[in-house]
Amino acid sequence: MQTGALFSLALYFILMLAIGFYAWRKSTDSSEGYLLGGRDLHPAVAALSAGASDMSGWLLLGLPGALYAAGLVEVWIGIGLFVGALVNWIVVAPRLRAQTESYGNALTIPQFLANRFPDKALALRVTSAIIIVLFFAVYTAAGLVGGGKLFETSFAGLFGDTGMSDYMTGIWMTAGVVLAYTMVGGFLAVSLTDFVQGCIMVVALVLMPIVVLTSDGGFSAASAQLNAIDRDFLSLTAGLSFIGFLSAITWGLGYFGQPHIIVRFMAIRSVPQVATARNIGMSWMGVALLGAIGVGITGRAYVEMNGLTLDDPETIFILLANTLFHPLITGFLLAALLAAIMSTISSQLLVSSSSLTEDFYRLFLRKNASERETVNIGRLFVALVALVAIYIARDPDSKVLGLVSNAWAGFGAAFGPLILLSLTWKRMTGAGAVSGLAVGAGVVILWIAMGWNKEFLGGPGVYEIIPGFVAALVAIVGVSLAGKPAARPA
């Protein structure tokens, strides 16, 4: 079975590399081409690229695992994310596409903020670039851990005595393919591969619950089995506290500050095409979330009805793929999981590289660097960030995966209010922008360090994005109102 599945994965890898080569031939001669695809993304590509780079392995591992273990009450995180993504497309996308071009044709988020608030340009570029690179090194490592565990679970022993564990072999293979197409093809390669990966992901998520239901008596049989386990398993509210609901639903706030997602908005062909991209992207996200919910719920019914054992709920997708399908289809499904992981890794590597190139190298070392030199330096930074991520991910028992929710909160609190207000509030000042960036990130770090995300005032923990986002919002508004209005550059 491993050979058939590996064959399908090999075809997937070849396809990703071919797309990278195509993108290299098309648009990597300039910084704008390498970092933003020449601002010429088709709406469908931009939409699925934003979705695929957003969801990561959480969509096929984390969400189904949470639903498998606790029931339908866990769906509130998905609902919060859907609402947050919709508001992000409506409020942020068209404004960011227009303003990043009008404010000096900014190619990165830090560059846009610096152009928007020139009196605090250096502080904004340096601070935001540092936050982006540090958080994404850990974020990327978490994705590599997922790739390593996929190979360790599905292809144990296949690679023989290579001197490396199956886990590390999986990490190097995942990183190697991502590095190849990202370094060669830049943003266009990342976006086109994300588009293909998004298609693969949604097909897999729709296919799997249907096969599970048709193989074991349909929805009524599955529902009866789940009610026998726990009569509240299919309830949306059983055991849900107000704090728990708030912590789940406010995941959606994180969307406004995720650099690897909102950078897609900057690359859409034109502002009028943002609406088309939004409709495509939200349709994809809705179907994908429903599919992930179906995997977790029907997967629990399948395991119980067939007397199977599952030690880790987050591997329910892998178990169903290995149990129910022909090896070639299993390989396709595992490719979908790998696609979810790789699409996010590639986006994070490129955003980190763009910040290091535009907000460090060209800012401090080589202000007059040529376009070719800048592109090549960008490729070098992609490799360096990937090597750091591989080093962090080398321990399969590390707690890197647990930091993903913290990184999401950190980005959401640091950049979310900052991006929202910089796009919509003319009275905002550079000092307010710097304070919001520092306060948002600082409150999130403090909240985690104090353990208040796990337990707060003797009750359940409060997700750190809530205090971080509110504190950053207050800081930006308060400092801006206390200072002089920012003058828009000519």
Which residues lie closer than 8 Å to 87 by C-beta, 6 or more apart?
Answer: 252, 255, 256
pLDDT tens readout for residues 91-103: 999 999 999 888 8
Tell whether the model's pLDDT for residue 445 goes beyond 80: yes
Enclosing domain of residue 310: 2-401
**410 domain residue, yes or no:** no
Confidence label for 481 from pLDDT (cuts 50, 70 and 90): very high
Q: Which two tokens stand for residue 368?
A: 């007059």
**139 domain residue, yes or no:** yes
Among the residue ranges 31-40, 56-65, 144-153, 266-275, the one predicted with the least confidence is: 31-40
Query: Using alpha carbons only, what angle is made at residue 391 by residues 387 and 397, rounded to the nearest 5 degrees?
Result: 145
**436 domain residue, yes or no:** no
How high is the pLDDT of residue 163?
46
Q: Which two tokens stand for residue 362?
A: 């060209």
Confidence label for 371 from pLDDT (cuts 50, 70 and 90): confident
Burial class for 279, CB neighbours closer than 10 Å (0-12, 13-18, 19+): middle
**294 domain residue, yes or no:** yes
Return d(Cα 338, Cα 143) in angstroms, integer: 9
Query: Using alpha carbons only, what angle is made at residue 92 by residues 193 and 438, rounded to the nearest 5 degrees?
Result: 100
Tell whether the model's pLDDT for residue 399 goes beyond 70: no
User: What's CA 87's distance to the chain center, in Å?
Assistant: 17
- The structural domain count of the chain equals 1
pTM, two decimal places: 0.84
**325 domain residue, yes or no:** yes
Tell whether the model's pLDDT for residue 486 goes beyond 70: no
Confidence label for 83 from pLDDT (cuts 50, 70 and 90): very high
Average pLDDT over residues 54-83: 85
Q: Are strands 459-460 and 455-456 parallel, antiparallel or unpaired?
A: antiparallel
Confidence label for 413 from pLDDT (cuts 50, 70 and 90): very high
337 closest CA partner among 313, 318, 353: 318
Most confident of 228-242, 364-378, 468-482: 468-482
Confidence label for 31 from pLDDT (cuts 50, 70 and 90): low
**484 domain residue, yes or no:** no
Tell whether the model's pLDDT for residue 14 goes beyond 90: no
How high is the pLDDT of residue 385?
86
Q: Are 84 and 253 in contact (CB under 8 A)?
A: yes
Among the residue ranges 19-33, 211-225, 435-449, the one predicted with the least confidence is: 19-33
Most confident of 20-24, 106-110, 284-288: 284-288
186 closest CA partner among 44, 30, 362: 30
Average pLDDT over residues 221-236: 82
Query: Using alpha carbons only, what angle is made at residue 137 by residues 48 and 339, rounded to the nearest 5 degrees?
Result: 30
How crowded is residue 40: how many other Cβ atoms within 10 Å of its Cβ? 16
pLDDT tens readout for residues 306-345: 888 887 888 888 888 888 888 888 888 888 887 778 778 8
Supply the mean pLDDT for the chain: 83
**473 domain residue, yes or no:** no
Confidence label for 490 from pLDDT (cuts 50, 70 and 90): very low
How high is the pLDDT of residue 443?
94
Half-sphere exposure of 211 (CA within 13 A, CB side): 18
57 closest CA partner among 334, 319, 261: 334
Tell whether the model's pLDDT for residue 190 goes beyond 60: yes
Q: Which residues of 336-374 are buried (b: 16+ CB within 10 A; e: fewer)?
A: bbbbbbbbbbbbbbbbbbbbbbbbbbbbeeeeebeeeeb
Q: Are 386 and 350 in contact (CB under 8 A)?
A: no
Tell whether the model's pLDDT for residue 158 goes beyond 60: no
Confidence label for 470 from pLDDT (cuts 50, 70 and 90): very high
Confidence label for 440 from pLDDT (cuts 50, 70 and 90): very high
Which CATH number is 282's domain given? 1.20.1730.10
What percent of the chain has pLDDT above 90? Answer: 22
Query: Position of tokens 């535009």?
Result: 358
**488 domain residue, yes or no:** no
